[in-house]
Amino acid sequence: MSGGTTDPAQGVGSRVGRGAAWSLLNTVVLKLGSFAAGVVLARLLAPEDYGVYAVALVVLTLLHAFNELGVSLALVQWPDDERRIAPTVMTIALTSSTVLYLLAYAGAPALSDVMGAPDATPVLRLLCLAVIVDGVAAVPVGLLTRHFLHVRRLVGDVASFTASTTVTIGLAASGAGPLSFAWGTLAGSVLATVVFTALAPFRVRPGWDRALAPRLLRFGLPLAGASLLVLSVVNADNLVVGALTGPAALGLYLMAFNQSSWPLNVFGEAARRVALAGFSRLTGNPDALSRAFARGLGLLMAVTVPVCALLACYADSLLRFVYGAPWAPAAQALVFLAPLGLVRVGLFVVYDLFVALDRSRVLLKVQGLWLVLMVPALAAGTAIGGIRGAAIAHLLVAVLVIAPVFLRAVATHGIAVGPALRSCLRPALGGLLIVATALLVRAAVDEDLPRLLLGGLLGLAVHLPVVWPMRTLLPGRSPAEEPTPAPGTTALPTAVPSVPPAAGLPAGEMR
């Protein structure tokens, strides 16, 4: 191992472990701040304001999935000197982002009408300017991710959160309504881009390489298509609920989905920033990759299950106490969206596994199936039961169809599914114990704050002893415990969205 270009003592486990630690710190700090900001905004704005913003956010989120045509991930995964492709990547990102924004600007009135919120047009046009900003940020963020510079990412993300939250709360307090979200998002995105550019390993200017451009597009377009399908699936409920019920109900649904997405946003996003790095090193060793998959899934479930269980069991008390009585009706959706959040965290790991295996077509097929099944299910569920029916439909399609299809695909590609499922048994048992304690607490305590405090303490008290033995699954620090990369594989960090839509804002976290 001597004579290499990297420190021989620095193995896969140690690098991924450090990356995960900084990434988790980044995520937790921002989400805690976002939670506080969300409470303030929920008490300044009405559900209708959230509903109008949600219409614009759906469009922005879908544009973010496709705005740089997936080429930023190629920048992260390029096995040679990234300086060669960076100028072409920047040109593609800037051009495609600008074209998409112009299309969104022109189509804003029609899109707003379809979703039952004509007042969303100015919000949509302003908010979607963040698409162009995201195109500018694609290369700097790709470079930071490639080189595991998560501390610098933290600086940029904190700057973005500070600007977006300050602007949004200030405008909301002055009566700007849903436009406060759009201005806040744009302010945070611009500042984040400035910081990411300043902290990137080197400066990049737009350029063009005729030989590289087709290769980059062939690599990026399938992944961009898969991401678009993923986000279409996640946002299909907003489209349907908005069109069938109007902005007020959509605002309540948005709040419920926000809460159910906390585990994914905190634990899933933190893991994703390093998961592909570990999986990519092991693609030539199916046994080691199976173990890594099982370990990663088990650990994520250990920390995600208690959060989702508590969200489902105490949904009404949480919303009423934290956000105020106007938001309590969102609990009827949160009860079912919380377990959906758990499923989404697990599928997040599977998604990155297929990216590491370079099986983007599998992702496209499964996501396409999900979308085809989801839209009619959501329409029927919403028509029958409003936002509660939409949540139930979303959960049933994910649990009964998509999760089994994904697991079958994993097994088909040589990855053992059994160990991964067994790694989830302890978290599942802990979750059942949390539900049992919740039944007792809800029967004995009526007031919201005592119920939340007692339920949380008892839930963790019964869950922690069950999952405590799983601490041995944490990434090893000793080189002897670290898996050896297969010959010819390249260490590749994962790509993440360059500028998260509505960074730091409660409505932007959900998608």
> Which residues have C-beta within 8 Å of that of residue 492, sequence separation ≥ 6?
76, 77, 146, 276, 277, 280, 281, 356
Average pLDDT score over residue span 293-306: 89
Contact indicator for 88, 212 with CB cutoff of 8 Å: yes
Q: So what's the pLDDT on residue 476?
A: 53
CA 322, CA 212: separation in Å to the nearest integer?
A: 52
CA 374, CA 345: separation in Å to the nearest integer?
A: 18
User: Both tokens of residue 397?
Assistant: 């399609």
- Tens of pLDDT, residue by residue over 315-331, are 999 999 999 889 999 99
The mean pLDDT of the chain is 81
Contact indicator for 371, 225 with CB cutoff of 8 Å: no
Total Cβ atoms within 10 A of residue 404 = 10
CA 445, CA 463: separation in Å to the nearest integer?
A: 21
Who wins on pLDDT, 329 or 19?
329
CA 107, CA 115: separation in Å to the nearest integer?
A: 13
Tell me the three-class secondary structure of 79-145, residue by residue.
CCCHHHCHHHHHHHHHHHHHHHHHHHHHHHHHHHHHCCCHHHHHHHHHHCHHHHHHHHHHHHHHHHH
Residue 136 CA: distances (Å) to CA of 75, 85, 208, 301: 14, 15, 16, 35
Residue of 202, 178, 180, 198 whose CA lies nearest to 190: 198
CA 309, CA 322: separation in Å to the nearest integer?
A: 18
Q: What is the CA radius of gyration of the chain?
A: 22
Total Cβ atoms within 10 A of residue 84 = 12
Chain-centroid distance, C-alpha 404: 21
Which stretches within 200-285 are classed as H helix?
Answer: 212-245, 247-260, 262-263, 269-281
Average pLDDT score over residue span 414-432: 91
Global pTM value: 0.72
User: Percent of the chain beyond pLDDT 90?
Assistant: 37
Contact indicator for 67, 134 with CB cutoff of 8 Å: yes
Confidence of residue 506 (pLDDT cuts 50, 70, 90): very low
**480 DSSP 8-state letter:** G
The single residue listed with the structure tokens 């939670």 is: 35
Q: Is the pLDDT of residue 133 over 90?
A: yes
DSSP secondary structure string for all residues of 298-323: HHHHHHHHHHHHHHHHTHHHHHHHHH
Contact indicator for 200, 207 with CB cutoff of 8 Å: no
- Tens of pLDDT, residue by residue over 29-44, are 666 767 777 788 888 8
**Range name among 72-86, 242-256, 430-444, 450-464 with the lowest pLDDT average:** 72-86
**Range name among 118-122, 229-233, 271-275, 450-454 with the lowest pLDDT average:** 271-275
CA 256, CA 251: separation in Å to the nearest integer?
A: 9
Q: Is the pLDDT of residue 491 over 70?
A: no
Q: So what's the pLDDT on residue 106?
A: 94
**Range name among 233-237, 290-294, 410-414, 499-503 with the lowest pLDDT average:** 499-503
**Range name among 2-16, 100-114, 235-249 with the lowest pLDDT average:** 2-16
Contact indicator for 261, 509 with CB cutoff of 8 Å: yes
- Tens of pLDDT, residue by residue over 54-110, are 888 888 888 877 777 778 777 777 777 888 888 998 999 999 999 999 999 999 999
CA 379, CA 370: separation in Å to the nearest integer?
A: 14
CA 75, CA 82: separation in Å to the nearest integer?
A: 6
Q: So what's the pLDDT on residue 511?
A: 44
Average pLDDT score over residue span 330-337: 96
